[in-house]
């Protein structure tokens, strides 16, 4: 992801980043910036949070206003991330403002300390470059590494800001398909705050007081052998929201290494061949930020998840 920063550019903290350390937020926002440069900009007061000097460990919150100098990430944050050497993503929609891609499982979305080249952002850039187009893309939301499905990327800072605001205001609809343990009710809503914690048992967020408001709804599409196939809709976009919420109601996603049930996952993997969490971003809908055109995109389950459903005997979603 490339982020062009002018002198004293201002960034509003989106809901999905609330509770994150300032230094880590900047590292994610500018993945090619050096940590020493980020720390220097913060400690010298050139980075301001709500107009005040701050510390690297300060926690940012939704709606906070971050002021950045133009010199931030001069050694890397303004460059496009490295292009990938191959393309595994599938292009579902494109125009001059944005693209929508279908992400396979196992692909990291953005560059980081352990993944610098073969990322979704790098593959999107390569895909555009091959078509003779500008390779610069901007992330506005994310999918976990082992979650597959639809992701929208902006092709300019202006569209990135517009899409980020739409996500924050609930103007983008996202639906996921998940296979969970147990027989769920036919439909339900989960409105439980989620707080970021130290990674107890490998989990990054936990339901509880003091957390950020989070709302998830679901409908049971099918069930068999003590498993339920769900269509899950997000009203908010917190980190690991679906995974944490479904665990909270006693129906964790099958194959989920962080929030699932270890014994159930092992037995399910041996019997049905599931090697990752059964979670797929299947539908994405929004009004185009420039034209207002309604965009509705659907992604079918990938082959590995279809195979699991066939083995279990559950019909796939229609």
Out of 144, 263, 275, 304, the active site residue is 144
Contact 72, 5 (CB under 8 A): yes
Of 152, 156, 105, 153, the C-alpha closest to 296 is 152
How many residues are present in the chain?
318
Q: What residues are paired with 10 via a beta bridge?
A: 67
Measure CA of the first residue to CA of the last residue in the chain; give whole Å. 34
| β strands within the chain, DSSP E | 9-12, 48-49, 52-53, 65-68, 90-94, 98-103, 138-139, 148-154, 173-181, 187-191, 194-196, 205-207, 215-224, 227-234, 279-287, 294-298
Clarify whether 144 is annotated catalytic.
yes
Of the CA atoms within 13 Å of residue 122, those in its CB half-sphere come to 18
Of 112, 116, 88, 115, the C-alpha closest to 102 is 88
Q: How many CB atoms lie within 10 A of CB 34?
A: 15
Residues tagged active-site: 144
């Amino acid at each position: 992801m490339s982020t062009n920063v002018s002198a004293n550019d201002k960034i509003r903290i989106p809901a999905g980043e609330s509770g994150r350390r300032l230094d880590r937020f900047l590292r994610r926002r500018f993945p090619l910036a050096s940590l020493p440069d980020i720390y220097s900009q913060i400690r010298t007061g050139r980075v301001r949070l709500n107009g005040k000097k701050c510390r690297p460990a300060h926690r940012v919150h939704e709606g906070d206003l971050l002021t950045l100098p133009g010199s931030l990430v001069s050694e890397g944050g303004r460059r496009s991330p490295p292009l990938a050497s191959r393309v595994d993503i599938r292009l579902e929609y494109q125009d001059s403002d944005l693209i929508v891609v279908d992400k396979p499982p196992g692909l990291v979305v953005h560059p980081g300390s352990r993944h610098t080249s073969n990322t979704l952002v790098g593959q999107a850039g390569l895909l555009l470059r091959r078509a003779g187009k500008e390779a610069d893309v901007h992330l506005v939301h994310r999918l976990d590494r082992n979650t597959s499905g639809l992701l929208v990327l902006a092709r300019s800072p202006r569209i990135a800001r517009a899409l980020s605001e739409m996500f924050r205001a609930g103007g983008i609809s996202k639906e996921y398909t998940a296979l969970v343990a147990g027989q769920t009710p036919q439909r339900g809503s989960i409105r439980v705050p989620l707080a970021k914690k130290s990674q107890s048992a490998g989990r990054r967020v936990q339901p509880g007081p003091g957390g950020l408001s989070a709302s998830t709804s679901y409908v049971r599409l099918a069930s068999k052998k003590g498993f339920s196939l769900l269509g899950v809709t997000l009203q908010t976009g917190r980190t690991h929201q679906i995974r944490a919420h479904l665990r909270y109601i006693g129906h964790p996603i099958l194959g989920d290494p962080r929030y699932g049930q270890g014994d159930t996952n092992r037995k399910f993997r041996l019997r049905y061949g599931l090697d990752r969490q059964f979670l797929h971003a299947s539908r994405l809908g929004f009004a185009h930020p420039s034209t207002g055109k309604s965009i509705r995109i659907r992604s079918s389950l990938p082959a590995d998840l279809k195979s699991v459903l066939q083995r279990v005997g559950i019909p796939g979603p229609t």
